[in-house]
Chains A and B, each alone.
Chain A
């Protein structure tokens, strides 16, 4: 509640400078690395359930699940980052994220924390302008001396970019 209230406050205080806004993120692990997504895009966090695999799909597309009557695709973030295949077990979770009209699931190892980060603490990714591959990162932030990459799921699993990505991964 307080966090929400605080957020409201900041909004009313300085609507002009959006950059000083404090946002909340959910951080999660893939292997040893920490990533985070903005909390407002996250719909829910689900334990791993077996998916129905889709034929002729990119490797990081793990298949689809039934989320209360809606068919939701699940993507393997590890495979997307070209670190092999996640062998999901009981501890793995799927973060259900809303991207504009689409709802997708992202398979990660575990959810770690909720971070409240002021915008000025978010550092830019070096070389981001040069390397389009880094576009999916909104920025980097140090939490307890560990680096957390804030990702934009939309750019990671953008359907329009999918064919290219698929080709790259393959």
Chain B
């Protein structure tokens, strides 16, 4: 039963039935169905049906799970290829079926009619004999894009970046003021403010993109270094590099060069064994050093992995005791022992050589990386190799933050680290013998971090059930629950240095200026993580064996949990 074309002739309109079921991976790759749907809606007239039958009770709901699937009915002048293009970037992360129903009818007709009836099963069979099921293929871009570039003085770009920073602050102020206006009274003004914030965000991203550079410029120095080192040390090594195209702020590329070289040097000198030893250990004669860069959660991670001997905990500990860095009675976890190599003055090399043994090294590396707002962590398996992971911010100027109330003060938490915010029930809250709060979160116990205590705010709420718990991801994927009074809002914040006029403050990575002109401090999650661990180990009286622990902000004490 074919329907006749519309009363008003609409040229070559075809209708499609599209069923779309996203997998969890789609969300994990930061794709958003809403955007896809919006884009689809631009192709023509769209009727959609949401299948939420899989959605469980809110209590049992997992925030990172995909529960929905959609059925779209699209009447469009475009063809199937255009529809496929909408889903181009979610290929493999969803079930997608596109059925070309091939009938021609007017969109009016279509909407007026009972859509379900129109696409009833019999009808489908009748009108769409050729139902094509396609898996999506990314169009392997054959076209070569000629990129043009101009040289600009860095000063000019920096001026632009600064101006945009000021603009972001002004916009935050406007939005704060605008938030008090009634939408009914000033619809255009409110809408204008919203639009302005969107444009400013785009502007800011574009400006930051100007400063972004591929890490290739740094990585490209490494092969030569490895060649020279292996030649002088009589070792065999191959450097494998991936992710050289990963872009990061110019300041970062400028300043990670030296630390990176130092770490590569370490890997070749300390990590890799001599060819004979490698053969004896059943490994390839040639060691492999893997240098990779990739984005994760608004940061760039740079990993240096070798398949050498790994860190020998015993030797490290012995050396540290010899040099008086640790007291002999200290009882340290493997993680803590690995972190000893970041202590000033530490070296395991027996002799001072050109390459290493000077005992100036990893502590400087760590200082440099921390200076960039980054962190460094180690994981090492004896006999199989070590991996150093540097986590660096993408830009040094602006970030997305969540403004929270802690007593009368406002603090900013980096949005990228926030997993969820919730008000726990009393039964989810427990405490360990040392008084450290612990909370059940998604089937795991996580530590509660009393920010009011760490930042010494006197008038803050202490009970997480009265305030809120912001679950954040710390170093090594460790989850923690920060106790705050309330959430204020989410906004872009311009990072201002405290050091330029004062000094580094522990637990604080910088400051920003809020819409009301007041200064707000940005919480450094990794440091707070350590401060809270320390806080309790001290209060419990176990602090006796500490490794001068005051200065090891690199994830200590927590066994690392890999989060993918």
- A66–B457 CA distance with the chains assembled, in angstroms: 20
> Number of B residues whose C-beta is below 8 Å from A?
26
Minimum CB–CB distance from A14 to chain B (whole Å) comes to: 36
**Cβ B519 vs Cβ A57 within 8 A:** no
**Cβ A102 vs Cβ B500 within 8 A:** yes
Minimum CB–CB distance from A161 to chain B (whole Å) comes to: 11
**Cβ B166 vs Cβ A159 within 8 A:** no
Contact with B along A54-89 (1 / 0, CB 8 A): 111100010111100111110000000000000000
Q: Which residue of A lies closest to B162 (CB)?
A: A69
**Cβ B501 vs Cβ A71 within 8 A:** yes
Residues of A within 8 A of B410 (CB): 52
Given A51, A61, A71, A104, which contacts B497 in the complex, CB threshold below 8 Å? Answer: A71
B513, CB-defined interface residue at 8 Å: yes
**Cβ A64 vs Cβ B513 within 8 A:** no
Contact with A along B496-515 (1 / 0, CB 8 A): 11101111011110010100
Minimum CB–CB distance from A165 to chain B (whole Å) comes to: 12
**Cβ B503 vs Cβ A162 within 8 A:** yes
B29, CB-defined interface residue at 8 Å: no
B449, CB-defined interface residue at 8 Å: no
**Cβ B169 vs Cβ A64 within 8 A:** no
Residues of A within 8 A of B505 (CB): 54-57
**Cβ A54 vs Cβ B521 within 8 A:** yes
**Cβ A64 vs Cβ B498 within 8 A:** yes
A47, CB-defined interface residue at 8 Å: no
**Cβ A50 vs Cβ B518 within 8 A:** yes
Given B456, B496, B503, B517, which contacts A55 in the complex, CB threshold below 8 Å? Answer: B456
Task: Using A52-B409, A52-B519, A54-B508 as known contacts, say yes or no to A69 and B501 having CB atoms under 8 A apart.
Answer: no
**Cβ B507 vs Cβ A55 within 8 A:** yes
Minimum CB–CB distance from B373 to chain A (whole Å) comes to: 16
Residues of B within 8 A of A65 (CB): 519
**Cβ B501 vs Cβ A73 within 8 A:** yes
Residues of B within 8 A of A61 (CB): 502
**Cβ A69 vs Cβ B497 within 8 A:** no
B455, CB-defined interface residue at 8 Å: yes
B45, CB-defined interface residue at 8 Å: no
**Cβ B518 vs Cβ A70 within 8 A:** no
**Cβ B521 vs Cβ A52 within 8 A:** yes
Q: Which residue of A lies closest to B514 (CB)?
A: A66
**Cβ B503 vs Cβ A70 within 8 A:** no
**CB neighbors of A among B406-428 (8 A):** 409-410
Contact with A along B51-83 (1 / 0, CB 8 A): 000000000000000000000000000000000
**Cβ A64 vs Cβ B503 within 8 A:** no
Residues of A within 8 A of B456 (CB): 55-56
A53, CB-defined interface residue at 8 Å: yes
Given A53, A103, A159, which contacts B409 in the complex, CB threshold below 8 Å? Answer: A53
Residues of B within 8 A of A57 (CB): 505
Task: Using A69-B166, A71-B497, A73-B501 as known contacts, say yes or no to A52 and B520 having CB atoms under 8 A apart.
Answer: yes
- A65–B520 CA distance with the chains assembled, in angstroms: 9
Residues of B within 8 A of A69 (CB): 166, 169, 496, 513
- A66–B172 CA distance with the chains assembled, in angstroms: 15
**CB neighbors of A among B455-484 (8 A):** 455-457
- A102–B457 CA distance with the chains assembled, in angstroms: 27
Main secondary structure of the interface of A (DSSP, over half): strand
Given A66, A71, A72, which contacts B517 in the complex, CB threshold below 8 Å? Answer: A66
Residues of B within 8 A of A101 (CB): 500
**Cβ A71 vs Cβ B519 within 8 A:** yes
**CB neighbors of A among B484-538 (8 A):** 496-498, 500-503, 505-508, 511, 513, 517-521
Task: Using A52-B518, A52-B521, A66-B517 as known contacts, say yes or no to A102 and B166 having CB atoms under 8 A apart.
Answer: no
B233, CB-defined interface residue at 8 Å: no
Residues of B within 8 A of A64 (CB): 498, 502, 511, 519
Residues of B within 8 A of A103 (CB): 501
- A50–B520 CA distance with the chains assembled, in angstroms: 12
Minimum CB–CB distance from A98 to chain B (whole Å) comes to: 10
B181, CB-defined interface residue at 8 Å: no
B321, CB-defined interface residue at 8 Å: no
Residues of B within 8 A of A102 (CB): 500-502
* Residue in B409, B457, B497 with the greatest tally of chain A CB atoms within 10 Å: B409
Q: Which residue of A lies closest to B512 (CB)?
A: A71
- A71–B497 CA distance with the chains assembled, in angstroms: 7
Residues of A within 8 A of B519 (CB): 51-52, 63-66, 71
* Residue in A61, A64, A104 with the greatest tally of chain B CB atoms within 10 Å: A64
Minimum CB–CB distance from A154 to chain B (whole Å) comes to: 13
**Cβ A73 vs Cβ B507 within 8 A:** no
- A82–B1 CA distance with the chains assembled, in angstroms: 95
Residues of A within 8 A of B507 (CB): 55-56
**Cβ A70 vs Cβ B169 within 8 A:** no
B352, CB-defined interface residue at 8 Å: no
B111, CB-defined interface residue at 8 Å: no
Minimum CB–CB distance from B247 to chain A (whole Å) comes to: 27
**Cβ B508 vs Cβ A55 within 8 A:** yes
B454, CB-defined interface residue at 8 Å: yes
* Residue in B409, B498, B513, B519 with the greatest tally of chain A CB atoms within 10 Å: B519
**Cβ A73 vs Cβ B502 within 8 A:** yes
**Cβ B513 vs Cβ A159 within 8 A:** no
Residues of A within 8 A of B517 (CB): 66
- A146–B507 CA distance with the chains assembled, in angstroms: 45
Contact with A along B127-171 (1 / 0, CB 8 A): 000000000000000000000000000000000000000100100
* Residue in A50, A71, A104, A162 with the greatest tally of chain B CB atoms within 10 Å: A71
Residues of A within 8 A of B501 (CB): 70-73, 102-104
- A56–B535 CA distance with the chains assembled, in angstroms: 13
Contact with B along A19-58 (1 / 0, CB 8 A): 0000000000000000000000000000000111111110
**CB neighbors of A among B161-217 (8 A):** 166, 169
Given B455, B498, B500, B518, which contacts A66 in the complex, CB threshold below 8 Å? Answer: B518
Residues of A within 8 A of B502 (CB): 54, 61, 64, 71, 73, 102, 104, 159
Residues of B within 8 A of A52 (CB): 409-410, 511, 518-521
Minimum CB–CB distance from B495 to chain A (whole Å) comes to: 10
Q: Which 3 A-B pairs have the closest CB atoms?
A: A55-B455, A73-B502, A52-B519
CB<8 Å pairs between A and B, sample of 6:
A55-B506, A55-B508, A66-B517, A69-B166, A70-B496, A71-B519
Given contacts A52-B511, A52-B521, list 5 more A-B pairs with CB under 8 A.
Answer: A54-B502, A64-B519, A69-B169, A72-B501, A73-B502
Query: A residues bordering B, Cβ < 8 Å?
Result: 50-57, 61, 63-66, 69-73, 101-104, 159, 162
